[in-house]
Amino acid sequence: MAGQTMIEKILARGAGLEQVNPGQLINVKVDLALGNDITAPVAIKEFLRLGLDRVFDPEKIVLVPDHFTPNRDIAAAEQARQLRSFAEKYGIVHYYEVGRMGVEHALLPEQGLVWPGAIIIGADSHTCTYGALGAFATGVGSTDLAAAMALGEAWFKVPSTIKFEYQGKLPPWVGGKDLILHTIGRIGVDGARYCAMEFGGEAIAQLSMDGRMTMTNMAIEAGGKCGYMEPDQKTLEYLKGRVKREFELYYSDEDARYEKIYRFEVSDLEPQVAFPPSPDNVHPVREAAGIQLDQVVIGSCTNGRLEDLQVAATLLKGRQVHPRVRLLVIPATQQIYREALKQGLLEIFVEAGAAVCTPTCGPCLGGHMGILARGEKALATTNRNFVGRMGHPESEVYLCGPAVAAASAVAGTIVDPREVLD
């Protein structure tokens, strides 16, 4: 039997097969199906057309209103109401209302709804985040979500796998966001098209779970079907006390087949910045120096976790946001918000002149709470910077990690964090 990757083993388990091969079409049983306030209403409409009186399993469906919430307008309110009504009618156990919810891809791992070996689909492209915990997780369309809510199944073409190895010790102020931006800059936005991206090596072992989820979150920005890390002790420590069920750990075989293998030496890597209009237009921060900013956003499913807020607070403490800049800080979940409050981080942000917002995707997709006007430039810890992504089509979005974002909010221009600390 040929060697298998971790993802091939998980998909084989879900399909009830001994093994699977890249390119093979399979039906798998899903362990979790996720929808949000933009994608779930379409899935709900299709589900209701089937005339079913129950979902496949009310404990395996998750509904999170996080994109246009707190409701930005009447249309958003109606979409959120559809989720609420559907959850009530069909007894959906994992429905998270505003005030108790969070940005979905930070919320689900935090709530213990992700575990190694799980097969998770979500009607949101950044569902690939959960691969950081050793799961197969990928985005699907709303109609696929509707079918999964009815049948508990989804079909896939088994992806080929590309292996990425990162060697060396991470320099100061360089984290998961810098590693994934550097990777996307090297291979392009279609460099891993419909492939599983296996991240490993010495530098990955150094990353916290927050940093690892940042990397797998942006696998889709390289065209990946999923991104993942093999579980290690850090993974198990994160899962302890969160996941209440039994699970099996999967690892790639030594003779597993890879379409390509990339190796990066990161000991001298600078903080990275993706210039508009694409996540693969990546430059070291020194090449972005002096770009004047109107808005900085620290948050999203990519970098709204506690570690991100701690990094930002380290740079903002005792300093003031530049008077020309609007700094928005958005903790990704209520739990992160509470912990940041307890640690005094929110006080640091407010004293620096930032606006601290309730958990929401909001400005990341140009939804609300941070729309850009014509000609404005934003620096964001979010994951996409396409034309018009955060507002007016003649605005610009630059992507970075929390250290560069916080330092640049103080400077008023994009800057290396080390310059702010000097």
The answer to whether residues 216 and 318 belong to one domain is: no
The answer to whether residues 254 and 277 belong to one domain is: no
The answer to whether residues 103 and 181 belong to one domain is: yes
| CATH number where 325 lies | 3.30.499.10
Cα-to-chain-centroid distance, residue 184: 15
Question: What's the rounded mean pLDDT across residues 274-296?
Answer: 98
Residue-level pLDDT at 106? 98
Question: What's the rounded mean pLDDT across residues 161-185?
Answer: 98
pTM of full prediction above 0.85: yes
User: What whole-number distance in Å separates Cα of residue 181 and Cα of residue 64?
Assistant: 27
The answer to whether residues 343 and 238 belong to one domain is: no
Residue 136: inside a domain, yes or no?
yes
Question: What's the rounded mean pLDDT across residues 25-51?
Answer: 97
The answer to whether residues 327 and 181 belong to one domain is: no
Residue-level pLDDT at 421? 80
User: Omega into 277 within 30° of 0, i.e. cis?
Assistant: yes
Q: Work out the pLDDT band at 314, boundaries 50, 70, 90.
A: very high
222 and 134 Cβ atoms separated by less than 8 Å:
no
Quote the strand ranges of 184-286, DSSP E. Answer: 195-200, 226-228, 260-265, 272-274, 282-284
**Which residues have C-beta within 8 Å of that of residue 308, sequence separation ≥ 6?**
210, 214, 298, 381, 401, 402
The answer to whether residues 259 and 301 belong to one domain is: no
The answer to whether residues 285 and 223 belong to one domain is: no
Percent of the chain, pLDDT > 90?
98
Residue-level pLDDT at 93? 97
The answer to whether residues 218 and 88 belong to one domain is: yes
pLDDT tens digits for 93-143? 999 999 999 999 999 999 999 999 999 999 999 999 999 999 999 999 999
Residue 422: inside a domain, yes or no?
no
End residue of a domain, out of 240, 263, 286: 263
**Is the pLDDT at 19 greater than 80, yes or no?**
yes
Question: What's the rounded mean pLDDT across residues 344-365?
Answer: 97
pLDDT tens digits for 42-63? 999 999 999 999 999 999 999 9
The answer to whether residues 80 and 136 belong to one domain is: yes
Residue-level pLDDT at 420? 80
The answer to whether residues 144 and 229 belong to one domain is: yes
Count CB-CB contacts under 10 A for residue 69.
26
The answer to whether residues 221 and 125 belong to one domain is: yes
The answer to whether residues 39 and 182 belong to one domain is: yes
Question: What is the average pLDDT value for the chain, to the nearest integer?
Answer: 97
Residue-level pLDDT at 422? 65
User: What whole-number distance in Å separates Cα of residue 58 and Cα of residue 176?
Assistant: 34
Q: Work out the pLDDT band at 250, boundaries 50, 70, 90.
A: very high
User: What whole-number distance in Å separates Cα of residue 289 and Cα of residue 391?
Assistant: 23
Question: What's the rounded mean pLDDT across residues 194-221?
Answer: 98
Question: What's the rounded mean pLDDT across residues 206-212?
Answer: 98
End residue of a domain, out of 208, 232, 263: 263
End residue of a domain, out of 230, 263, 296: 263
- Which of 171, 153, 122, 196 has its CA nearest to residue 57? 153
What does the CA dihedral 236, 240, 245, 246 come to, rounded to 10 degrees? Answer: 40
67 and 361 Cβ atoms separated by less than 8 Å:
yes
Q: In terms of residue numbers, what domain contains 191? A: 6-263
Give the total number of structural domains in the chain.
2
Q: Work out the pLDDT band at 2, boundaries 50, 70, 90.
A: confident
Q: Go through the chain and tell me how many residues it has.
A: 422
